[in-house]
Amino acid sequence: MPTKIDRRSFLKVLGLGGAGAALAGCDRPSYATLEEGEEQVFSYLAPEEYVVPGIGVWYASTCLQCPAGCGVHGRVREGRALKLEGNPDTALNKGKLCQMGQAALQTHYNPDRITKPRIGDQEVTWPEALAHIQSKSGGATAWLTGAISGHQAVLLDTHLHARDGGGKHYAVETVNAQAWQAACADTIGDARPELHIDKANSVLSFGADFLGTWISPVKFMADYGAFRSAPRGVLTVIEPAMTLSGANADHWVAARPGSEAAVALGVAYTLASEYGVSTSALPSGAADAIANMTPDRVMELSGVEAQTLSKIAATLMSNSPSLVIGDGRYETAAAAMALNMMLGNIGATITPGVDLVPADLAMRNGSTKALADFAADALAGRIDSVFITGANPAFTASGGLKIKDALANIPLKIGVSMFEDETTQLCDVVLPLASPLEDWGTHVPSSGAGRGEIHVQQPLMEKLHPETLGLGDILLGLAQDAGADGLADFEDYYGYLRTAVSALIGTDQETAWQAVLQAGKVQAPSGERAFTANGALNIQIADTQAPSAGQLTLITTARQGLYDGRHANLPWLQEAPDQISKAVWDSWAEIHPKTAAGLGLKDGDYITITSSAGAITTRVFLYKGVHPDAIAVPMGRGHTHYGRYATGIGVNPLSVLDGTQDVRTGEFLATASVRVQATGDNRHLVRLMDVDQQYGRKLAVTISADQHRRNQTNNQGSA
């Protein structure tokens, strides 16, 4: 009879065996695994000042993984950057860094970096590439970039102005806050006011994922920490698909896609009708929009009930001051600002930002409207050559935009990039860009925190690939070659930046410059802005009804991690479980279980999502945190040409957006009407946390926020 070994005794045997092996190891060492002469060791030629091999030195620099521009400290040992952390001395991120910032090391050491210039498929030298550009780039030139600020932006302008044909700059970002900024400009005359989540006692967000990707997530996370400490602020989030901020909310409400503005106006209506909050001080147009948004109308447009509106109104009234934010569509942001005005938040949790006195350093915010403008100009033949850097329009453009046709209409396309991607593939010339950890620069934080504090970027190490060049150096060289005034004396961007920063701080002493580098920041002179009275507010409410049978509304969502797809080539971020689904290395479509049941779909079923612009095929993830009329697919994956880690992984939902633009801002809407069809395949979605419950095992004991509050009240009552 075979001996039966149960799991427990099996483990015991293993334990004993393990100990035995360990003891044997002490007694008679096995020499087999130790290496001799396998690796090489190099000494310094001459010792570097302050450098001791084996001991890390921290240098200050700036994170360029998203437009927020957080300050970093990078640990360098033996000439290699090894670890990044937040710079504790910045007003913006106060020593914190998000996962995308941490993963900047993988951007830097990525094996798919471009190391040499190329023309077509041919690797060439820099002089050859530049001569080619020079000979072909007559006429109107353009720069297509991501959000950009600081001295690189100044040089970019200088380059465009120095050219005979003139030129235009298009700053493109898919994840942006354009709608919010437009609404702020229209209501208080300041597109970028400072937000004080930490000073609020309640926050109401309409789809602005401030903890994940909105404006400056690390800053907002720190503020959120203060907001949640005693007295604990109350967070309410209203959105069609749950974001990281939504997942943290005390009260999360699913609204039909596109109906967030209706809910916001409904809350305003309830504040006026139940609490007598006046709407008379609002810009003209807003009061009418609120008066028309009865709870019945809200229900009709969004599916949100009157009692939910009452509950939200009660939360806002009893937890003052509050802060209301909203983004995605202009009317959502405008309605959120109307709420702020009604609730007296202007001047309390929303205060004026500052203007940098060297105004040309300011952040050029990216938008998708800029991409639409670029495509229109290109199709009309108004662009003869374009430099593209920090943007991948061939991947991020809405499917409806036909960006490839637009690019094909530009005779000379120059990609200035660290990686081959969908856009460089269409470029005629590609120039290899140095990594942010090898480059100089100055960056203005996108949130305006720090009131004029500019972050300084300095190289943490020598270039890994000698033929790469920093963006500032490329811009300086191009501007010099175009005959720009006053640049002839600068040998490189370092020299230019040092001179420019010295002018900013009013001294060119070496010690002052070293202090700037050590701090990783410089305080630029800045002037206070003031809120101005406002004219009319045009809040147009979309007629969002339940979609017709067989149709769903696709929402493309942004996640901290792969972001707009730029980080899909970083294995750490592909491997980091998604904040909502916990999935790794693949795409998925979030569908409400009820909707899925109606369509006969179950978890892991592959579906084809078809819009007027195209189709994608991915698998179903059943999730209650999405409105039953919606289907949500996170953006970031679905690359066809982005190195070994990104190519062929997942799908790109941006490719099925139909190119509908927001009326006020011109931004592409992140929604499209789609049909869903099962393919018949089913495969398990790989997730870190495969089930959403603990089957009563109490592995991580939790209580609801309501229960916690009740306990606190009871305790206080009995004390």
Partner 1 sequence: MSPDRRKRSPFPWIRTIMAVGVVGALIVLGGQMLEHERRGGESPMTESGPRVPNAVFPTDTFAGKDIAQPINYSHKLHAGDLGINCLYCHTYARRSKVAGIPPTSKCMGCHTAVATADDKPEIAKLSAMWESGQSPAWNKVNDMPDFVHFSHERHLQKFLFDNPDMNIQDSREVCAMCHGDMVEVGVAKKMRPLTMGFCNTCHENNDGPADCTRCHK
Binding residues vs partner 1 (CB under 8 A):
25-31, 33-47, 52-55, 126-127, 130, 466-469, 473-474, 476-478, 480-481, 491-492, 494-495
Buried b (16+ CB within 10 A) or exposed e, 690-706: eeeeeeeeeeeeeeeee
Secondary structure, 3-state, 175-227: CCCHHHHHHHHHHHCCCCCEECHHHCCEEEEECCCCCCCCCCHHHHHHHHHHH
217 forms part of the interface with ligand SF4 (CB under 6 A): yes
100 binds, among ligand SF4, partner 1, none (CB under 5 to 8 A by kind): ligand SF4
For residue 634, the minimal CB distance to ligand SF4 (Å) is 17
46 binds, among ligand SF4, partner 1, none (CB under 5 to 8 A by kind): partner 1
101 forms part of the interface with ligand SF4 (CB under 6 A): yes
Closest CB to partner 1 among 33 and 716?
33
217 binds, among ligand SF4, partner 1, none (CB under 5 to 8 A by kind): ligand SF4
69 forms part of the interface with ligand SF4 (CB under 6 A): yes
Closest CB to partner 1 among 31 and 695?
31
98 forms part of the interface with ligand SF4 (CB under 6 A): yes
HSE-CB of 490 using CA atoms within 13 angstroms: 25
Contacts of 546-552 with CB under 8 Å at 24 or more apart are 546/256, 546/303, 546/629, 547/629, 547/673, 550/675, 551/673, 551/674, 551/675, 552/591, 552/595, 552/629, 552/630, 552/631, 552/673, 552/674, 552/675, 552/676
Copy the structure tokens of residue 117: 């210039």
137 binds, among partner 1, ligand SF4, none (CB under 5 to 8 A by kind): none
Q: For ligand SF4, which residue has the nearest CB?
A: 101
**φ/ψ of residue 236, rounded to 5:** -120, 130
For residue 471, the minimal CB distance to partner 1 (Å) is 13
Q: Which of 504, 546, 537, 508 has the alpha carbon at shortest distance from 521? A: 504
**φ/ψ of residue 669, rounded to 5:** -80, 145
Task: Kindly tell me which residue out of 60, 68, 596, 622 binds ligand SF4, with binding defined by CB under 6 A.
Answer: 68
Q: Could you give the C-alpha distances from 625 to 243, 459, 591, in angstroms and in order?
A: 9, 43, 9
Strands of the 441-443 sheet, one edge to the other: 441-443, 453-457, 521-523
Buried b (16+ CB within 10 A) or exposed e, 552-584: bbbbbbbbbbbbbbbbbbbeebbebebbbbbbe
For residue 472, the minimal CB distance to partner 1 (Å) is 12
For residue 18, the minimal CB distance to partner 1 (Å) is 13
Task: Mention every residue, 6+ apart, whose C-beta is less than 8 A from residue 542.
Answer: 258, 259, 261, 329, 331
467 binds, among ligand SF4, partner 1, none (CB under 5 to 8 A by kind): partner 1
Closest CB to ligand SF4 among 100 and 429?
100
Strands of the 202-206 sheet, one edge to the other: 251-254, 234-239, 202-206, 322-326
491 binds, among partner 1, ligand SF4, none (CB under 5 to 8 A by kind): partner 1
Closest CB to ligand SF4 among 101 and 452?
101
Closest CB to partner 1 among 466 and 696?
466
478 binds, among partner 1, ligand SF4, none (CB under 5 to 8 A by kind): partner 1
CA 372/CA 666 separation, integer angstroms: 8
460 forms part of the interface with ligand SF4 (CB under 6 A): no
Closest CB to ligand SF4 among 93 and 178?
93
For residue 474, the minimal CB distance to ligand SF4 (Å) is 22
Contact region for ligand SF4 (CB under 6 A) — 60-68, 174-182, 385-393, 495-503?
A: 60-68
386 binds, among partner 1, ligand SF4, none (CB under 5 to 8 A by kind): none
426 forms part of the interface with ligand SF4 (CB under 6 A): no
CA 322/CA 204 separation, integer angstroms: 8
176 forms part of the interface with ligand SF4 (CB under 6 A): no
Name the site residues for ligand SF4 (rule: CB under 6 A): 63, 65-66, 68-70, 93, 97-98, 100-101, 217-218
